[in-house]
Amino acid sequence: MSRLWVSILTLVIYGLAQFGVIILQLSGLFDNYSGKELVFAQIYTQVILFIIASFIIIIINHFIANPTSLEQQPKEKKRYAIGWALVGYFVVMIYQIIANMINIYLLGAPQSSPNTERLMKVAQEIPIFIILISVVGPILEEFVFRKVIFGEIYNMIQANKTIKFLIAGIVSSIIFSAAHSDPSFFIIYFGMGMIFSALYVYTKRIWVPILVHIMQNGFVVIIQVLVGPEKIKEMQESASFILNFLF
C-alpha cells in the first residue's frame, strides 16, 4: 500500500475519531438522549471511535510499500525499546517540571492546564474515558504527529540529519501543541513533541514514543484521579510559597 495513501488515511481516520461524535450527533443518533445520559452516550461513543481508529491505523501502517527514509534505516533492537521508553519517560518528566516552573514563575501561566482539568473531570465521572486519555489517545497522536507529520517532513527535506530533525521536529511540535488547544502551556506540549520526535529518530521505532506518551499520560491520570485536583492545588500552592520565599 502506498505510503501517501496510508498517511492520508491515517489523518482522515484520526479526524473522524476526533469529530465523529459531532457528526453522529448532527445525524440524530443521540436525539433520544438528554442530560447525563447524553453525556455518557457521547463519551462511550468517543472511546469506541478512538479504539477502532487505533486498530485501523496500526494495521494499515504495517502495509506500507514505500516507507520513509527514516523507517528504512536500521532500527534499535527490540530488547532495548523498553529501556529507551523508560529513559524517554524520565526525560519528559524532568522537562515538564522545568517547563512548568518557567511557565508559572516567568511567563505567569496558570498552575494547572484547563484542558487537563476538563479531561480529568470527565475521567472521574466516567472512568472508561481513562482508556482514551492514557492509551488510545497517545497511540493515535504519535502515529499522526510523529510518524505522518514529522516523518513526511523529515523525508522531504534535503539536508543533514540535524537540520532535518530540527525543521521536522519544530513544525510537527508546533502543530502538536496547537492541537491541544491550550496556548498557555505551549512550551510544555512543544517540548514534549520534540522529545518524542528525538526518540523516534534515534530508535526508528514509533512504539518507543508511543510507550513514553502512554506512561506520561497514565501518570497524570493516576495522580489526578487518586490524589484529586484539590489536593494537587494545595501542593502547588505550597510549592509556590516555598519558591517565592527562597527567591
Residues marked active site are found at: 141
C-alpha cell belonging to residue 115: 484542558
Cell of 86: 523508560
Which conformational region is residue 160 in: left (phi greater than 0), alpha (psi within -120 to 50 degrees), or beta?
beta
191 vs 74: CA distance, rounded Å = 26
Task: Note the residue count of the chain.
Answer: 247
3/69 Cα distance (integer angstroms): 12
Grid coordinates belonging to 95? 522537562
Place of cell 523498553: 82
Distance CA 102, CA 188 (A): 10
Integer Cα distance of 52 and 43 in angstroms: 14
